[in-house]
A and B are shown apart, each in its own frame.
Chain A
Amino acid sequence: MTLEIGPGVLGLLGPNGAGKSTLMRILATITRATEGGVTWNGTDIAQKPDELRQVLGYLPQDFGIYPNLTGQEFLEYMAAIKGMDAKTARRRIEELLIVVNLVDAAKRPLRGYSGGMKQRVGIAQALLNDPQLLIVDEPTVGLDPAERVRFRNLLSDLAGERIIILSTHIVSDVEATATEIVIINKGCQVQRATPGKLLALLDGRVWQWVVPEEELARLKQASLVSGTVRRADGIQVRIVSETAPAAEAHPVAPNLEDVYLSLVSQDGGGR
C-alpha cells in the first residue's frame, strides 16, 4: 500500500480484519510498522514521532476514559498531556464542549456517561490541539442519529487545510464527508478514488427488481446481491451485474455500498 495524503477527508473502507485500524494506529504513531515507513512533511514518523504528535488528533476505535474525572477535567488532563498552555486549553475546551453537546454534562464524573457521551468526549479530546492530521476510527459508533449528523457536519467543516482520515463501516458516513475514498482488503489497497469516480465504476451495472422469497437464496449463490428490502409482493433485490440478471430487472443508480461490495468481492472478500 502506498498512499500520499493531502488536505481533505480520506475515507477508509474495508471488511473486518482488512487492516484499517492497524493502518490508522501506524499513522497515529501508536504502532511501529514492521515494514515500510510513514513520513509527515518529509519526516519519518518512526524516527521522530513527536513531529507528527504535535499536530495529531486521534480517536481510536476502542478507548477508555478515567471514570473519576469529570468530562471537563478529562479534557484538561489531555490538554496538559498534549502540552497545551492552560489559557488556550480552557478556551478550547469550552468551545469543544459546545460542539460535542456536552456542556450540561461537563461537570459530571465520566463513569455516569452513556456510550455515546463517552464517544463525544473522545471526539473532543481528538480536536483539542486543533490538529492538522485528524485520525478517527469508527467515530460515530454509539452516537444517536442527531449526533451522527452533527459529527459528520463537523468533519466537513474541519476539512479545509487539514487532513482527516476516517475509517468506518457506515458507508453513508463516508459518502457524506469523504473527498476521497480508499478501499482496502487483506492489508492491500483495492481502490482509491473520489466518491464520484467510484460510483461511475458501476454506472449501468446495478439492477433492481422484486423476486419471490424462495428465489432469493438462488440469487445470492449466483450473483452479488448488494441489498434486499422485504415488500408485500416479495423481496426487492439489488444486484451488481454486467448484464440484466432478469427480464424484470431495471437499472438503478449505484451507491457506495454497491461499489464497496463489488470491489471487495472481486478481491476475494474479507477475512
Chain B
Amino acid sequence: MKTIGILYHLARADFFERTRRYSFLVMLGLVLWLSYVLASGQFRIVIQPRYLGVIDSTWVGATMTLGTTMMLGLVGFYLVKGSVARDYTTGVGQIMATTPMSRLLYMLGKWLSNYAVLGITVVILALAGIVMNLWFGHGGLDLVYLVGPLVLIGLPWLGLVAALAVLFESVTWLRGGLGNILYFVLFMALISTTIVPADLGTPGFADNPYIDFTGWQIISDGVTRAAQAAYPDAGGLGFGDFELAGEPAFFVYNGIRWTTTILVSRLLHLFLAVGLVMLASVLFDRFDPARLLPVKRRAAAPEPAPAPAAEPIPVSSVQLTPLSGTETRFRFGALLSAEVKLFLKGQRWWWYAVGAALIVAQLASPSGWVPNLLIAAWLWPILILSGLGCRESRFNTRQIVFCAPRPMSQLPAGWVSAVLVLALLGSGALLRFLLAGDPVAVLGWLTAIVFIPSLALALGTLTGSGKAFEALYVLWMYLLTQKAAPLDFAGLVPGSHFYLFALVAIGLLAIAALARQRQLQAT
C-alpha cells in the first residue's frame, strides 16, 4: 500500500506540475485544433477513389482513433517527454535520489503521469467525436462504437508512447535532441511499414494485430471490406486531406469485429509498455552524474584548483581599465553575430554533417524528392528553433539579458539568425528552383523561411517553453509530407495558398513582440 501511495503522489505531483504550466494550455489548444480538423472532415478517412463512410458513431470512432494513433502517437511523445529532464534542471531529482524510492517506482510514476496527460488528449478527441456525431451524423449516438476503439486501440498505443518517452529520458544520449530525432525516424518507419499505400488496398498486417501498434490495419481491414461490399471497385484506405476522384459515394461501416486476438494484442501492448518502463528503470542513472557515459566524462575537463584560502590574490594587482566615454549603442550586426553563434553553438559534428548532406541531396536528387528533402532539412534544426523566444526562460538568463539596453532588439536578431539557418539548410532546393525558373517555388521557399521562425518565436515567447513548437512543428511537417494543402506554407503542395502564411507570419511576429513585452514586465 505504501508503494502505491508513493507512486500515486509521484504521478500526481508530476501531473499537476505539467498541467499548471502555460505550455499545457497551448498543448490543449493544439489538441482542440486537431479535434476540429478531424471533426470538420478536413482530415478524413477516404477509400479510393471516391468513397466515404456514412457519418455515424462507428465511422467517427474510427476517424478519431486513427487521429489519436497517427497524430498523437507522434506529437504526444514530444508533449510528454521532458519530465525527467525537468527534475535534473530544477534539482528536484537530486533530492529524490536521496530518498528510498526505487528507480522503478520513479519511472512508473513518470510513465503514469505521461499517460494521464495523453489520456486528457484522448478525452478531448472523444468529446470532439461526440460533437461530430451529433452535428453531422446520421442515426443516434452510440458511445460504445464511438469510444470503444479509442479506449481499446488508442489508449494502449499511447501507453506505449508514454513508456517510450520515459525510456528515452532514462538514457543520457537519448534525453536531448538525438532522442527526438530518433523517435521521429522510428515513428515514420513504423508508419511506412504499417500503412499500405492507399492505392494498393491490400492490408498487410491484418492477420497480425500484435505488431499493428497503431491499429491502422485493424481499422483499415474493416473499412475497406465494408466499402468493397458496397462498391466492388473500392480501393485502399487513405487518412488525410485526400482529394476524391469524382462525386463522393457513401457506404456504411459497421465497426471493428473485436476478436480475442485483437483484444489480447492490445493487452500485450500495455504489458510491453510496462516492460519498457522497467527497462528504463534499469538504464536510468538516478541523477548520478558519475554514471555519465565515458565519452562525457572525458569531455569534462578537471576544474582548476581554487586559489588557496590563506593567500587570496589582492584585487589591486588586476585593475580594471575604466571605460568612461565608451558609448553603448544599438549594434544589430554584433547582436546578430552573437545570436547566430549562440544558435549554432553546442551542435555536434554530425549535426553539421547531416545538414550538409541534406543540402547536397536537395541539389543531386530527382526533382520529385525535393519537397520531402526540404521538409527534412527544415525539420533538422527543430531543437534550435524551439529555443527562439524562450531560451532566456529555459536557461534562466532572463534577468541578466532583459536588463540590457533595448531588450526588444534581441527578438529580431534571434529571428533573423533563424531565417539565415533555414535559408542555408534549404539552399540546395532554392538553387534548383532558381535554375528551373520557378518563381512560385521560390516564393514558397521564401514564405517558409519567414513563417517557420515566426511560429517558433510566437510560441516560444507565449509559452516560455519550446515544447509547444516542437510538438506542433513535427506534426505540421508530418502532415506536409502527407500533402495537407491547407497547412502548406512552403508551396510544396500544388494549388495551396501558401502565400497567406506570409500574412500569418506578420501576425505571429506581432504576437511575439507583445508576448516579449509581457515577459519583460513580468520578470
Contacts and interface: CB of A to CB of B under 8 A. Distances in A.
Whether A and B are associated in the same complex: the answer reads yes
Given A60-B399, A88-B323, A82 B404 contact: yes
A26 to B, nearest CB: 11
B399 A58 contact: yes
B353 interface: no
Interface stretch (B199-207, B341-349, B420-428): B341-349
Contacts of B407: 53
B308 A146 contact: yes
Interface string A113-156: 11011000010011101100000000000001111011001100
B279 to A, nearest CB: 28
Nearest to A61: B399
A80 B402 contact: no
Contacts of B321: 91-92, 95
Contacts of B341: 69, 73, 76-77
Contacts of B399: 25, 28, 30, 58, 60, 62-63
Given A54-B328, A101-B313, A150-B312, A112 B300 contact: yes
Interface in A143-191: 144-147, 149-150, 153-154, 157-158
Interface string A17-33: 00000000100111110
B320 interface: yes
A82 B312 CA distance: 31
Contacts of A63: 396-397, 399-400
Interface of A: 25, 28-32, 50, 53-54, 56, 58-60, 62-69, 73, 76-78, 80-86, 88, 91-92, 95-96, 98-99, 101, 104-105, 108-109, 112-114, 116-117, 122, 125-127, 129-130, 144-147, 149-150, 153-154, 157-158
B303 A105 contact: yes
Contact of A80 (B310, B314, B326, B334): B334
Contacts of A85: 326, 331, 334
A32 to B, nearest CB: 5
A76 B338 contact: yes
Contacts of B309: 144-146
Contact of A78 (B323, B400, B406): B400
B3 interface: no
State which size class the interface on B falls in: 35 or more
B318 A95 contact: yes
Interface of B: 299-301, 303-304, 306-316, 318-324, 326-331, 334-335, 337-338, 341-342, 345-346, 391, 395-397, 399-407, 410, 521, 523
A76 B450 CA distance: 28
A4 to B, nearest CB: 22
B124 to A, nearest CB: 34
A64 B328 contact: no
Contacts of B405: 50, 53-54, 82-83
A68 B300 contact: no
Given A84-B328, A95-B321, A66 B397 contact: yes
B328 to A, nearest CB: 4
Residue among A67, A77, A153 with max Cβ neighbours from chain B (10 Å): A77
Contact of A144 (B304, B306, B314): B306
A67 B300 CA distance: 12
Contacts of B324: 130
B328 A29 contact: no
Contacts of A150: 307, 312-315
A50 B346 CA distance: 32
A131 to B, nearest CB: 9
Contacts of A101: 307, 313
6 contacts: A66-B345, A78-B401, A129-B323, A130-B324, A146-B308, A146-B312
Contact of A127 (B301, B320, B329, B410): B320
Contacts of A126: 400
Given A77-B338, A96-B320, A146-B308, 12 more contacts: A25-B523, A50-B405, A53-B404, A80-B331, A83-B331, A85-B331, A85-B334, A91-B321, A99-B320, A150-B312, A153-B312, A157-B319
Given A105-B303, A147-B307, A68 B331 contact: no
B395 A80 contact: no
A130 B322 contact: yes
Which 7 A/B pairs are nearest by Cβ-Cβ distance?
A68-B346, A64-B396, A130-B323, A80-B338, A83-B328, A153-B315, A60-B399
Contacts of A130: 320, 322-324, 326
Contacts of B312: 145-147, 149-150, 153
B286 to A, nearest CB: 20
A125 B401 CA distance: 10
A98 B315 CA distance: 10
Nearest to B395: A64
A65 B318 contact: no
A28 B403 contact: yes
A157 B312 CA distance: 15
Contact of A67 (B315, B316, B346): B346
Nearest to B406: A50
A117 B301 CA distance: 14
Contacts of A122: 400
A109 B400 CA distance: 19
B395 A60 contact: no
Contacts of B331: 80, 83, 85
Contacts of A95: 318, 320-321
A60 B521 contact: no
A197 B218 CA distance: 85
A105 B307 CA distance: 13
Contacts of B334: 80, 83, 85-86
A58 B400 contact: yes
A66 B338 contact: no
B395 A66 contact: yes
B320 A30 contact: no
A105 B301 CA distance: 9
A28 B407 CA distance: 13
B383 to A, nearest CB: 12
Contact of A84 (B299, B314, B326, B342): B326
